[in-house]
Structure 1
Amino acid sequence: MKIDFRPIILAGGSGTRFWPRSRKARAKQVLALDGERTMIQRTVDRLAPLASPEDVWVITNDLLSGTICGQLDVVPDEHVVCEPAARNTAPAVGLAAFLIEKLNPEAVIGIFPADHVIGNQPEFIRVIEQAVNLAAAGENMVVLGVTPTRPETGYGYIETGEKIGEGVARVRRFTEKPNQERAEEFLAAGNYHWNSGIFIWSARTIANAIREHLPETAPLLEKIANAYGTPEFREVFAALYPQCENISVDYAVLEPRSAKGESRSSLYCLPANFGWNDLGSWAALFEHSHEIKANLDEHGNVTEASGSLAIEAHDNYVYTPQKFVALVGVKDLVVVETEDAVLITSRHHSQDVGKVVKELAAQGRKDLI
């Protein structure tokens, strides 16, 4: 019997670390950062062998919904659900779970951030199919963990325990972004994985988990789901969703489940070794461009410009698509130009670009955010 698989794409983020290209109404997920297709288009593209576009749902916001509907003409507009307020991933996942549970409680839903890059498509399909089968076999929750290649402090980690099958291990615990010392310990231990943010579970399993772990938020989400498709939906959504707890699904559900103990949690990790990258910063895009050898010169510079020249310049990232750029005697810089702004930073400080957006907001510069 074919498993009913429904992908849920989370596309509500603002992508502040990609300022100035990324803005509230033009966030990272609707940009084409490393090719012709935008990040969310590529997300839907890679899911095509697994599910019909009619079964794809997108959780986003009003600022992005028009652009997303235009870019995803294969996905039904009514499946693009706009959050009236940002409430992190647990309410978004819970709402999707209650919506799908009404259609088919046995359906397996996959949670996919809209801004990931996947290098090995066949391996991605194989792992997702394995995860879907595992999730459909009971009240199992499946998380995909990436084998770490460096002591990264910007990702959450999954500690795994007993191996129970082909690549499948039980989850012991989740750890949020560690400091450098702990990240080095995790890398050396060999049983820690980066949390990819990709989760697979049945609609009933995650809906019941939301009911258990978010008892005040769950009734609000169920009322919203019950109103879906009625004339009152937008009013109910706008009134109730902002009352939901602002919390990630990792904190709300996965950490409490793992705390039950490895043998009782029904929480499993599959290795996501399919060239995963979440492109979380300009430095990450620089590294990804090196991997795929895009816009790369012999000095390690990644330049997307109307012509370029590098003299004793190394390992810079430059985006000036309408201008010729000359690099002289500089290294490890990030330079990004748009019509109304220019960003200049170092690759090592690219994680801090979000601070620019916070400062602009404090100054009331809505025109720049």
Structure 2
Amino acid sequence: MSDSVTKSLKLTPLVLAGGSGTRFWPRSRKSRAKQVLALSGGTETMIQETVARLLPLAPADDFLVITNGLLVGTIREQLPEIPHSRILCEPMARNTAPACALAAMIVERTAPETILGVFPSDHVVTDDARFQQVIRAAMQIAAAGENIVVLGAPPTRPETGYGYIKQGTVAGEFADLGMTARCVQRFTEKPQIDRAIEFLADGNYAWNAGIFLWSAKTLANAIREHRPAVAGPLETIAAAYGTPEFEAVFAAEYPKVENISIDYAVLEPRSAKGAASNIYCLPADFGWNDLGSWTALHEHAMAKGGVSRGHGNIVECDQALHLEAFGNYVYSPGKTVALLGVSDLVVVETDDAILITTRAHSQEVGRVVSELTKRQRLDLI
């Protein structure tokens, strides 16, 4: 497949921007989830960085963004280049499958062959040029039939917070893409540590980067096949898109759909078909990190070069002192921070809260938010 073929394809990037980012408490709250924060070391927020690396692939008018009522105003302010009509506000959270399927059905009504790319709004990429090269290759595969393309990041540790993709044989029919496409055998969500160790040793598993590409009609038809009860209300909502009745129809119909991820709704049942599944994996070898925890942010900052770096410490503050301290992450803007004889801590200070935990427990910060909710401390979540 040539570059001219890629240029003739049309991409609609779907940016998923719901969620509350509980694992980044206390910096992240429901009204300022991590996608609207500048976490990765620059001045742009995570959703702004996401859109910026996609703009070379599609014009702003072709984007779709799906978020929630607490974030929609902030996101529209942060993304002035995207028309308000293309930033949709979910009436209630319904996970990734309904959001993806709704976008597919909206696009399918006018341009069924358009490639729909699903992109989380809160991931980081360090090599934008390679990212765009991989997406262009994925578009070609998605356009070559009823194909689904997933991106898999090479695992570097036995991570229990990620989903995994088991890769099978090399897809020879896509050998001219300049990168290896492999057939997908199975998806596994967030395994226990013993299985994660096995997956890392196996060598055929990749982390599920949560980035998927397919034609609008391929995804819409997959939802109709595997989740017909979900498809019905979404068809009604899609038919109302662009009309004065859209918001009312959205609010009435969306609560009727199942709360389910795209992995469970489409990818797992499709992968069960074996060789007939038409699911292919391309390498997410562009410096991907989903920043799913304070530990992941520490890892990203170490790779990129943190604000104050020494002995594996990343300290965002006015001035830092490191004395026999190793591998800590501290966020305390405007303060002098002294680290003495401590290792692998996470300390995050905001105006109204302080988190103190270990890097090993950073995936569990959501438990703090759950406990605050039980105690009716809604001012802190």
Gaps of at least 5 residues in structure 2 are none
Q: Which amino acid aligns with 2:29?
A: R
Cα deviation for residue 298 of structure 1 reads 2.3
Indicate which of 283, 295, 302 corresponds to 2:314: 302
> Within 5 Å, which residues of 2 pair with 1:201-280?
201-261=214-274, 263-280=275-292
Give the structure 2 partner of residue 356 of structure 1: 368
For each residue in 1:222-269, what CA deviation from the matched residue of structure 2 results, as whole angstroms up to 9, or x when unmatched?
1011111222211111111111101100000000000011x2111111
Indicate which of 129, 132, 152 corresponds to 1:125: 132
Q: Which amino acid aligns with 1:121?
A: D
Q: Which amino acid aligns with 2:300?
A: H
Q: Please tell me whether residue 16 in structure 1 is matched to residue 22 in structure 2.
A: yes
For each residue in 1:26-66, what CA deviation from the matched residue of structure 2 results, as whole angstroms up to 9, or x when unmatched?
00000000211100000001011111111111010010001
Give the structure 2 partner of residue 39 of structure 1: 46
Q: Which amino acid aligns with 1:176?
A: E
Cα deviation for residue 332 of structure 1 reads 1.1
- How many residues align structurally? 368
Give the structure 2 partner of residue 289 of structure 1: 301
Cα deviation for residue 161 of structure 1 reads 1.1
Q: Give the Cα separation in 1 of the matches to 2:202 and 2:347.
A: 37
Partner SS, residue 155 of structure 1: coil
Q: Give the Cα separation in 1 of the matches to 2:200 and 2:323.
A: 37
Give the structure 2 partner of residue 181 of structure 1: 194
Partner SS, residue 313 of structure 1: coil
Q: Give the Cα separation in 2 of the matches to 1:311 and 1:238.
A: 56
Contact 1:220 1:244 in 2 (8 A): yes
Cα deviation for residue 322 of structure 1 reads 2.4
Partner SS, residue 70 of structure 2: helix
Q: Which amino acid aligns with 2:364?
A: D
Give the structure 1 partner of residue 378 of structure 2: 366
Q: Give the Cα separation in 2 of the matches to 1:175 and 1:351.
A: 18
Give the structure 2 partner of residue 171 of structure 1: 184
Q: Give the Cα separation in 2 of the matches to 1:33 and 1:186.
A: 29
Q: Give the Cα separation in 2 of the matches to 1:297 and 1:137.
A: 47
For each residue in 1:293-347, what CA deviation from the matched residue of structure 2 results, as whole angstroms up to 9, or x when unmatched?
1213222211111222222222111111122222222111111111111111111
Identity over aligned pairs, percent: 62
Contact 1:290 1:296 in 2 (8 A): no
Contact 1:289 1:296 in 2 (8 A): no
Gaps of at least 5 residues in structure 1 are none
Q: Which amino acid aligns with 1:354?
A: G
Q: Give the Cα separation in 2 of the matches to 1:185 and 1:310.
A: 37
Q: Please tell me whether residue 81 in structure 1 is matched to residue 88 in structure 2.
A: yes
Question: Normalising by the residue count of structure 1, what TM-score does the alignment of the two structures yield?
Answer: 0.98
Q: How large is the RMSD of aligned CA atoms in angstroms? A: 1.0
For each residue in 1:165-214, what CA deviation from the matched residue of structure 2 results, as whole angstroms up to 9, or x when unmatched?
34011111111111122112111211111110000000000000011111
Question: Normalising by the residue count of structure 2, what TM-score does the alignment of the two structures yield?
Answer: 0.95
Partner SS, residue 320 of structure 1: strand
Q: Give the Cα separation in 1 of the matches to 2:126 and 2:331.
A: 23
Q: Give the Cα separation in 1 of the matches to 2:321 and 2:165.
A: 44
